[in-house]
Structure 1
Amino acid sequence: MKAIVLEKLDPAAPLAVTEAAVPDIAADEVLVKTHALAINPVDIKTLEDYTIVRDGETIRGSAASLLDGVSPIILGWDIAGVVTAVGTDVTKFKAGDAVFGMVRFPGHGKAYAEYVAAPAAHLAAKPAHISFDAAAGATLAAVTAWQCLTRHYSVKAGDRVLITAPTGGVGHYAVQMAKHLGAYVIALTSGGNTALATELGANEVLDYATFDAATAAPLQLDFVLDAGGRNDATWFARHLKPGAPLFYLPSGLTKVQQQRYAAQGLNAAFKMVTSEESAIEDIARLLHDGSIVTKIAGVYPFTEMKAAFAAQHKGTAQGKIIIRMPASA
């Protein structure tokens, strides 16, 4: 099969397509013939083993630590495709079923390949009217948003929810999901994204360039999903209701930061997504009934993964960057 195989994590890697063996499947797995993949900032951060030194503490802000000592490596987690074989314990799917999901995150997903061995529990049936491209997009980013809004915190009707980077991968799903859950959604973004944030369902859009957090009337927020990570948690402090959680997504928080925030009465925490059967099933239902849609920022052939990474690295994509697999895949 065609795959992008690395001997080690290296930001200079050409991400060239090569030949690899079709993986065997375990009893609880299915073999998926991929039609589309999606990439995320964490893919890039993992390739470069993105590391932050803050408050004297080193944070490896990706999934790279989980791949220490692993070789060869096939990156990626987000897939959509068709089941070609099922493990002996699998009853959820059969050969020919169209599926999508986030495979083994955090871990070694091995998604950059024509065939992926995936735990059946990490996949859901793709709604028939949803394209493989759109389904592939609604995996890591969508599950991240959903887990934050419904697992780590439970958004309720009438909650005032602020979402940063509301037109990016995670953010554009989060706005739609929060709206679906009945929240009053405030999007914080740059001016060029105002129209899309409104289209996605934001009740109010604030511009980074003109919104002065220090002097503006308090927003009385019940919850903040900081997908962008542009500002320190204290920047939001006067706009949060007492005890309101602020979830920070781009990378971890140091112990010093956590202690400082706690001393200031801030309920701030880093949240990482994990593969979860009920979450991907929920995403399938949201896609099916139109409660969420995938905005596609660009589609790249599998052979142009390096260009796709460059586009993702700019940090300005509206929605998801999709990788389309060869027609023969």
Structure 2
Amino acid sequence: MRFRPQRPESPSDVALAQPPALPSTMSAAVIDRTGDAAELHLATIDTPAPILSEVLVRVVAAGVNPIDAKTRSGSGVSGAIGSFPTALGFDFSGVVVKSPYEAHAFPVGTEVFGMAGFPRTGGTYAEYVTVPSLSLARKPASLSHVEAAGVPLAALTAWGLVVETALAHEGQRILIHAGSGGVGHFAVQFASYFGAQVIATGSARNADWLRELGARTVIDHATERFEDQVSDVDVVIDLVGNVMDDTGTRSLRVLRPGGLLIEVPTGAWPGFHEAATAEGFRATSFKVVPDGGTLATVARLLESGAVQVYVDRVFGLDEAADAHRELERGHTRGKLVLRVSDD
């Protein structure tokens, strides 16, 4: 059988196959310098251009995380910001508008969520963002973009803490501080899913909710000393550190011999490793890995209903400063999200 080449595409066919023209500029919530929440403001900046294996995504919603506020204030990852103005943000959910090539795993029009490479690239508080292909996953169909935007950084952090570092399993006892926060509410669910006995600290108003998520014991941090309530814990996941009432140091009192302390907030307890080692405990810090494969696994758990994301409040892109103020009050249940554009 002879090979018959296909008819060459006409100019009109080629035009129809191309993605729509993209704007050269976009709206973004940026900072011109580090400082308080008032530094965040709307501006018009250049639309980013993807290179090599990067994907360009139209952002529908962006998650707001403590690392964003820390970076804005001058700590966090602010030292790696190359120039100002810069858009903040790691989390996003949106739609692919430009792929590296036609047969790419995330073609134009695919609904995706993931983590941007901020601050090496622009952040997600913007209408468009470039994202490494390996940091993407398909958005769960059962989640809205607003819900999906609250997942990536918090859930990937929690997965790394609970599954990859604590190695959660049946019969294990895990204490999770700040269980009702963005990372915490995922950590409680993952630990429970893998069979661990979960003890969570939080406020009284979140106690019933934390039990619904899988915590067997909930300790009100405002009225109870957790070290008076529990002991012989296998793992402490400390999402607070010593910035509040020496939570990190006190955590060493509840670990079993040889137990593991995972200290998450950067700079919240500089001497944690030495202190833990001196008392015979294991200890490690942790940094999130923006892995799309792991995020796809989390997506399947979300689709099945085994894990849920809780979005506390939604702000407009022009309300990014208000979102940071709300985050810094420290009473957020689950996640705060910015709605950037229409679905």
TM over 0.5: yes
3-state SS in 2 of match to 1:99: strand
Q: 2:233 aligns with which of 221, 226, 248?
A: 221
8 Å Cα contact 1:28/1:89 also seen in 2: no
Change over 3 Å in CA distance of 1:181–1:263 after alignment to 2: same
* Residues in 2 aligned to 1:100 and 1:300: alpha-carbon distance in whole angstroms: 18
* Residues in 2 aligned to 1:25 and 1:33: alpha-carbon distance in whole angstroms: 12
Question: What's 1:65 paired with?
Answer: 79
Q: 1:244 aligns with which of 253, 259, 282?
A: 259
Question: What's 1:180 paired with?
Answer: 193
Offset from partner CA, 1:149-175 (integer Å, 9 cap, x none): 122231112211111111111101111
Question: What's 1:123 paired with?
Answer: 136
Cα offset, 1:278, TM superposition: 2.4
Cα offset, 1:256, TM superposition: 4.1
Q: 2:161 aligns with which of 141, 148, 156?
A: 148
Question: What's 2:19 paired with?
Answer: none
Q: Which amino acid is 1:212 matched to?
A: R
- If the length of structure 2 is used for normalisation, what is the TM-score? 0.86
Question: What's 1:284 paired with?
Answer: 299
Question: What's 2:218 paired with?
Answer: 205
* Residues in 1 aligned to 2:136 and 2:29: alpha-carbon distance in whole angstroms: 22
8 Å Cα contact 1:75/1:108 also seen in 2: no
Q: Which amino acid is 1:303 matched to?
A: D
3-state SS in 1 of match to 2:105: coil
Q: Which moved more, 1:194-203 or 1:82-91?
A: 82-91
3-state SS in 2 of match to 1:101: strand
8 Å Cα contact 1:90/1:120 also seen in 2: no
- If the length of structure 1 is used for normalisation, what is the TM-score? 0.89
Change over 3 Å in CA distance of 1:105–1:223 after alignment to 2: farther
Cα offset, 1:21, TM superposition: 1.9
Offset from partner CA, 1:214-243 (integer Å, 9 cap, x none): 544x53211111113343433122321222
Q: Which amino acid is 1:223 matched to?
A: V
* Residues in 1 aligned to 2:116 and 2:161: alpha-carbon distance in whole angstroms: 19
Q: Which amino acid is 1:111 matched to?
A: T
Gaps of 5+ in 2: 1-25
* Residues in 2 aligned to 1:116 and 1:274: alpha-carbon distance in whole angstroms: 19
Q: Does 1:275 align with 2:290?
A: yes
* Residues in 2 aligned to 1:283 and 1:268: alpha-carbon distance in whole angstroms: 26
Gaps of 5+ in 1: 51-61
Identity of aligned residues (%): 36
Q: Which amino acid is 2:238 matched to?
A: D
Cα offset, 1:209, TM superposition: 3.8
Cα offset, 1:281, TM superposition: 1.8
Q: Which moved more, 1:236-245 or 1:204-213?
A: 204-213
3-state SS in 1 of match to 2:256: coil
Q: Which amino acid is 1:289 matched to?
A: S
Question: What's 2:8 paired with?
Answer: none
Cα offset, 1:101, TM superposition: 0.6
Q: Does 1:41 align with 2:66?
A: yes
Question: What's 2:17 paired with?
Answer: none
8 Å Cα contact 2:94/2:113 also seen in 1: yes
Cα offset, 1:137, TM superposition: 0.3
* Residues in 2 aligned to 1:130 and 1:298: alpha-carbon distance in whole angstroms: 16
Q: Does 1:309 align with 2:324?
A: yes
8 Å Cα contact 1:145/1:171 also seen in 2: yes
Q: Which amino acid is 1:237 matched to?
A: L
Q: Which amino acid is 1:134 matched to?
A: E
* Residues in 1 aligned to 2:223 and 2:39: alpha-carbon distance in whole angstroms: 41
* Residues in 2 aligned to 1:257 and 1:248: alpha-carbon distance in whole angstroms: 7
Q: Does 1:134 align with 2:159?
A: no
Q: Which amino acid is 1:221 matched to?
A: V
3-state SS in 1 of match to 2:252: helix
8 Å Cα contact 2:240/2:268 also seen in 1: no
3-state SS in 1 of match to 2:262: strand
* Residues in 2 aligned to 1:128 and 1:209: alpha-carbon distance in whole angstroms: 39
* Residues in 2 aligned to 1:313 and 1:212: alpha-carbon distance in whole angstroms: 24
